[in-house]
Every structure is written in structure tokens, then in C-alpha cells.
Structure 1
Amino acid sequence: MTIAKPHIVVVAGVIEKQGYYLIAQRFDDASQGGLWEFPGGKVELDETPIQALERELSEELSITTTTGIWLADSVFDYGDKVVELKGYLSHWRQGDIMLNSHQKIAWVSLLQLADYQFCAADYSIIAALQQYIASRDSDIS
């Protein structure tokens, strides 16, 4: 008999500021420890993904955000669980970042994202962000 793995819906915010993107490093002793991610967290039963993202960014970073466009969904089997990650552009409204759930943060350019080792599910979000920026920039020119 096969036991079904937990399926967890998680949201991630891609926060952009002057051409740089906020990434956060997970605590070394956490699941996926030491890896980088776009901050966010689990969607609770009574929440929409957007409500969850704004709540999670407030809890994790002590900032207020507004959720923008959806970038991508990514489903990844980590072995002990299946994570469905929903990535959105997020806009920082107010607050000073406090690290409540991560050991480090970094503001990095689109090209610098390749210099960091991310949680597996985040790579689809990075690809969607690259595609979105390329499309947006081609519309401008």
C-alpha cells in the first residue's frame, strides 16, 4: 500500500526594487536548508494565494506588499512531500525588512540569480521572471 505524500500549496513573492530582486536564504537546519528562495509560504485553508502571499511576506519579512501579476506555477516532488509553488510579482509598499524566517537576504540582478543555489521549485519562477522581463523589455523598444 502506497501512502500519499502531503501536497502543499506555497506562494512566493518576486519583489523588485530598482532592477534588483529580493531573495532569501533558508536556515541551515530547515527543510532545504541553506538554499535560496523567493520569500513566501504555505496557503492556509481559508485563504486565496494572494492573501497568503501578503500575509506570509508580512510574517517573514515584516513588510507590507501588494501582489502583482502571476508569473508561474511549479510542482516539485521533494521526496517526502509535493510542493505546488505559485510565483507572483510583489510590490513593496512599506516596512523595514526583519529576518523572521531566513538567515540572509540579498538584492540581486536578473543575471546574478544564476550565482545562487535555489530550492528546486523556484527555478520555474526564475525562468518565468526572465521570460516576463524579456517580453516587457521588447515591448518598450
Structure 2
Amino acid sequence: MTEVVAALIWDGDRFLICQRLKHKARGLLWEYVGGKVEAGETKQEALIRECKEELDVTISVGDVFMDVVHEYPDITVHLTLFHAQIVSGEIRLLEHNAVAWITPDEIPHYAFCPADKEINERIAAEYGNTSFYTGDNG
């Protein structure tokens, strides 16, 4: 099983999603920024590194939002999604086709990677209907 981390980054009532490059596995599907945990890294260290490599931003990592195990035909992942926020840098597309800031109610308009299905259901349930945001999303 491959350990993978991702960031749930909020800006007001919207959160950040990234579109995978066309030539990669699950190309052009949407996901949360992140990637594989390397040997010797904590999950938090891996997430900080991946956000810098993929978007050229520095983040602070908060609590775990949730984790899921998903079996793809080519890989089984244990995905841990952390609350996070950008502390410095401007988003640059280094490893993605596009990024978008969406509300929970907009989730159905995007084709996400299958591993994100349960995560998106929980985000929609907890934060949906556009009146959710209270400023303390943790």
C-alpha cells in the first residue's frame, strides 16, 4: 500500500482543487494537491514538500480531515487529507493542468479521482449549502 497525503486548503468558502496532467494516470481528473510520502518523511513533511514541488507554495499543515484507502487497478493508496493553508508564495502550475477554487456545492461539476469520492461526500455534508463557513474550518 502506498502512503499518499493531500491538502484541503480553504480560501473563505472555497477550497483548492487541482487537475492532473493529461499524460499521467487518471489524467485530467481533479484531486487535492499532494503526493506520495517518501522514506524517512512524516506525512506532514511530505505534504509541505509536495505543495512546494507542485504549486510553488509553502503551507502550514493542520489536523487530519479524514483518510481513505482506495484500490486502483495499478496502485492501492492510503490517502490522508490534512487541513492546510498557504502561508507564502503564489500558485504556479508546475505539475497540474489547472487549479480551481470551488465551493462544496460545486463538487458535482468536476470529475474527481475515485479515491476522493468519500472525501467529497463528507465535505459536501459538513460544509455544503453555501452557508457553512464560520471562519473556523478546523
The one-letter amino acid paired with 1:72 is: M
Aligned length: 132
**Counterparts in 2 of 1:21 and 1:139: CA distance versus 1, 3 Å:** closer
CA distance in 1 between counterparts of 2:76 and 2:18 reads 21
Among candidates 80, 85, 89, match of residue 95 of structure 1: 89
CA distance in 2 between counterparts of 1:139 and 1:112 reads 19
Superposed displacement of residue 131, structure 1:
4.5
**Counterparts in 2 of 1:129 and 1:69: CA distance versus 1, 3 Å:** farther
2:105 and 2:124 in contact (8 A); partners too: no
Alignment of 1:1-141 (within 5 A): 7-133=1-127, 137=132
> Where do 5+ consecutive residues of structure 2 fail to align?
none
CA distance in 2 between counterparts of 1:99 and 1:138 reads 27
Moved over 4 A (4+): 137-140
Superposed displacement of residue 127, structure 1:
2.7
TM-score by length of 1: 0.86
Question: How much identity, in percent, do the aligned residues show?
Answer: 35
Local SS of the residue matching 1:29: coil
Superposed displacement of residue 80, structure 1:
1.6
CA distance in 2 between counterparts of 1:88 and 1:125 reads 11
2:69 and 2:76 in contact (8 A); partners too: yes
Local SS of the residue matching 1:51: helix
Superposed displacement of residue 113, structure 1:
1.3
> Where do 5+ consecutive residues of structure 1 fail to align?
1-6
CA distance in 1 between counterparts of 2:81 and 2:118 reads 9
CA distance in 2 between counterparts of 1:133 and 1:68 reads 18
CA distance in 2 between counterparts of 1:131 and 1:46 reads 35
Superposed displacement of residue 124, structure 1:
2.0
Structure with bigger gyration radius: 1
2:13 and 2:133 in contact (8 A); partners too: no
The one-letter amino acid paired with 2:79 is: L
The one-letter amino acid paired with 1:57 is: C
1:73 and 1:124 in contact (8 A); partners too: no
TM-score by length of 2: 0.88
